[in-house]
Chains A and B, each alone.
Chain A
Amino acid sequence: MKPTKKDRLGMALFMTPALVLFVLFFIIPVGYVLVVSLFKWNGMTAATFVGMKNYVTIWKDPVFRRSVINNVLWALVASCVQVPLSVLMALILNRKPRGWKFFRTVYFFPQVISGVALAMLWSAMYNSEYGLINGILRAIGRGDLAINWLGTLNTALPALLIYWVFYIGYYMVIVMSDLSGVDKDFYEAAEIDGASKIQQAWFISLPMIKSSVLTCMTLAAVLGLRQFEQVYLLTNGGPANRTSTMVLYLYKQIQNTRYGPANAASVMLICVGVIVILGIRALFKLGRSSRN
């Protein structure tokens, strides 16, 4: 049914408060970020217009390029490893095996703990002198494998990613709530037709929860691209900037009172984010059209 003029007026009235807030708190600040990215400014004295120089400067900086790569890696691992793990766990727990409520709580529990506390915990676990991981290695007679996990070039980033990937509870709960809405008749019919549990999950559950998986992948990618807290607390981008991310990079530019490059990095972050999100959406659209 085509909306009437009155409907449109009502819709506009309801949308206006949100739109005003959106413009005030997102569009205008983003516009300012864009403007300041074209200036040289130390935060205290007058700003000087430098055009695209800040963009060129940060793009020439190998630390920024590494930060972009690391961020894309975070986004990929989050959406292609963390989310599938969450879906797998949700599918298992959705079958309500013994103790499923306990496991659901256990997996979700880290989400209610401060990220700072978790980072401190993992920092202690990874510590080379007194950490749990090296302690276990020494206890089983493999002390030769004990290394400084967060301080070695080849292991620092994987160590961060592994720690992050374990926390699947958030996406698991989203997927589980979607799974609970799938009609049981589908499974009963599949049982009668002799479909195995894996086939039921693959051919019934997964297609039915596709939209929530897409949501989880988008959220995971966004969080991966915005990664800051864990990296800052565990490695501060080290060793030798090998674990730096874009937000950490722009934070350090702010510490250097280089607000122009910091804002240029923000704009680049927005661009990379848009590309990744549109990429994920295109991937799902491609999957849908190929089946059609």
Chain B
Amino acid sequence: MKKILAMILALALAVTAFACAAPAAEPAATEAPAAEAAATEAPTEAVVEEGFHPASEVTLNFPCIWVGTDSKAAVFGEMVAAFNDEYAGRAKVVIEEQTDYQAYRDKIRTMISAGQAPDLFSVDGTFKLADLADSGKLMDFAPYLDGTDWGATYTEGALSDATLDGKIYAIPFESAVFGIYYNSELLANAGYTEFPTTYDDMFAMADALKAQGVIAFPLMTGENAWTSMLWYSQILLAIGGPDVYKNGLDDPAFVQAADVLKKMFDYTSSDAVGAGAAVVNGHFLNFEAAVYTNGPWFLPRFAKEGINDLGSKVKFALPPEYTGGMGTYGGLAGTVQAYLCAGTQTDADKAAAVVEFYKFINQPEWLYQLAESSGAMFFVKLDSNPNDIQIKQDLLAAANSAPYIVKHFNDSMPTAVGNAFPAALDELVLGTVDAQGFVDLLKAAGE
């Protein structure tokens, strides 16, 4: 009996010790029944009447990521304060500060699955619009955007891209396009005054840079392999054109693009495998690397953090063309950085307050300030801002004249495929698989 008791105790202790090993999974476990319950409730929409005159002050809860040290925090805080002033006695937005992106995503998922979607919240590209729609817990903005003055403020195609079965559960807010940025001084030292327009010429330039001891392309496979993923997206568009994602990973362009990306690793730093964003950024900001890609939010950092007056030496370039490819020169990869969402509202006043707030923060005067302070771009149509740095103006001009802007690889693929990209890239770069094997690994991740 004692032995049995001792065995049970030992087992219980061992189980206890390892139960602590999976803290992240526990909330998931507790959420499952709630998700089922949530799915059975039918969403109810309220209709907003003309003007905004609630019976009493409406309070909107906003778990918000644009706080703390976020580059948009200061201006966004001012925007919320201004809204609360202007709508005093009618509506009040209460910010719940969230400083960690992953924790924020988990929180939003948990709240939606529990049928308690926040009044206001934002989601990024890791959320799939279909999942948001299927949850049945989000407010449909189509009645407020379709054919309205508010809807007309958005750029071409922005709202239609966010529409599913005639409903808009996520309002496109922050966008980004990805240009190529080069250190003109390092290129000049290698004999180049302009950035090449084809991949063949770009590799010839990379040879010249390598001969000078310069890292041509700072690349990474660590973290989410961000800059490498952006290059892969650009190469894919150059080879397969804007419809490259329509056939999924079966399109031969994915294999061809993998070969080109692998070749780029011949001209990168020795720490590229396993490197994170800090390493890549460091190489470019410290005048060690010549060609870089990232979103518009990074542009102010060239001047702020670069050495040797880097800010004045970085120039914008369009992604090169691929000889024989289906892409058009000038086509760009882009992304939706943030959508604005709201939980389903049964109270008409609350629904109206949500709309008022989202209209308020999408006013151009606020968006200009946000753009200046953070480098962000938005889906609301804005005139070019003379206060922007030159390189940002160049990027905006390129975006405005782009024959197409297509979501980058991670946004265009299922989440699991995007998350498998870094490990598959490791295999490709380290030579354990070829380009076809790389694509096969991505396919396997998506199954």
Minimum CB–CB distance for B37 against chain A, Å: 9
Interface: A200 (CB within 8 A): no
Question: Contact at B135–A239, with CB atoms within 8 Å?
Answer: no
Question: Contact at A247–B31, with CB atoms within 8 Å?
Answer: no
Chain B, range 387-416, C-beta contacts under 8 Å to A? 415-416
Chain B, range 307-357, C-beta contacts under 8 Å to A? none
Residue among B135, B271, B274 having the largest count of chain A Cβ atoms under 10 Å: B274
B430 partner residues in chain A, CB cutoff 8 A: 152-153, 239-240
Minimum CB–CB distance for B290 against chain A, Å: 16
Residue among A44, A151, A240 having the largest count of chain B Cβ atoms under 10 Å: A44
- Taking A250-B24, A251-B24, A269-B21 as known contacts, 16 extra A-B pairs with beta carbons closer than 8 A to each other, sorted by chain A number, are A33-B19, A47-B35, A151-B221, A153-B432, A236-B222, A240-B426, A241-B423, A254-B28, A256-B419, A257-B109, A262-B24, A263-B22, A263-B28, A269-B18, A273-B17, A274-B14
B contact set with A: CB distance below 8 Å: 10-11, 13-22, 24-26, 28-32, 35-36, 38-39, 102, 106, 109-110, 112-113, 131-132, 134-135, 221-223, 269-275, 279, 415-416, 419, 422-423, 426-427, 430, 432
Minimum CB–CB distance for A234 against chain B, Å: 8
Minimum CB–CB distance for A156 against chain B, Å: 8
Residue among A35, A254, A278 having the largest count of chain B Cβ atoms under 10 Å: A254
Minimum CB–CB distance for A217 against chain B, Å: 13
B427 partner residues in chain A, CB cutoff 8 A: 240
Set B18, B20, B32: member contacting A39, Cβ < 8 A: B32
Minimum CB–CB distance for A172 against chain B, Å: 22
Question: Contact at B422–A129, with CB atoms within 8 Å?
Answer: no
In whole angstroms, how far apart are the Cα atoms of A270 and B32 in the complex?
Answer: 21
Contacts known (A43-B109, A263-B28); A238 close to B134, Cβ less than 8 A? no
Chain A, range 117-146, C-beta contacts under 8 Å to B? 127-129
A contact set with B: CB distance below 8 Å: 22, 26, 29-30, 32-33, 35-36, 39, 41-47, 63, 127-129, 148, 150-153, 156, 222, 225-226, 235-241, 246-247, 250-252, 254-259, 262-263, 265-266, 269-270, 273-274, 277-278, 281
Set A151, A226, A256, A263: member contacting B29, Cβ < 8 A: A263
Question: Contact at A266–B17, with CB atoms within 8 Å?
Answer: no
Question: Contact at A46–B271, with CB atoms within 8 Å?
Answer: no
Residue among B22, B26, B430 having the largest count of chain A Cβ atoms under 10 Å: B22
Set A127, A148, A270, A277: member contacting B21, Cβ < 8 A: A270
A254 partner residues in chain B, CB cutoff 8 A: 24-25, 28, 106
Question: Contact at B17–A41, with CB atoms within 8 Å?
Answer: no
Question: Contact at A237–B14, with CB atoms within 8 Å?
Answer: no
A236 partner residues in chain B, CB cutoff 8 A: 222-223, 274, 422
Minimum CB–CB distance for B19 against chain A, Å: 5
Whose C-beta in chain A lies nearest to the C-beta of B446? Answer: A256
In whole angstroms, how far apart are the Cα atoms of A46 and B416 in the complex?
Answer: 19
Question: Contact at A33–B29, with CB atoms within 8 Å?
Answer: yes
Minimum CB–CB distance for A80 against chain B, Å: 19
A257 partner residues in chain B, CB cutoff 8 A: 109, 131, 415
Question: Contact at B271–A128, with CB atoms within 8 Å?
Answer: yes
B106 partner residues in chain A, CB cutoff 8 A: 254
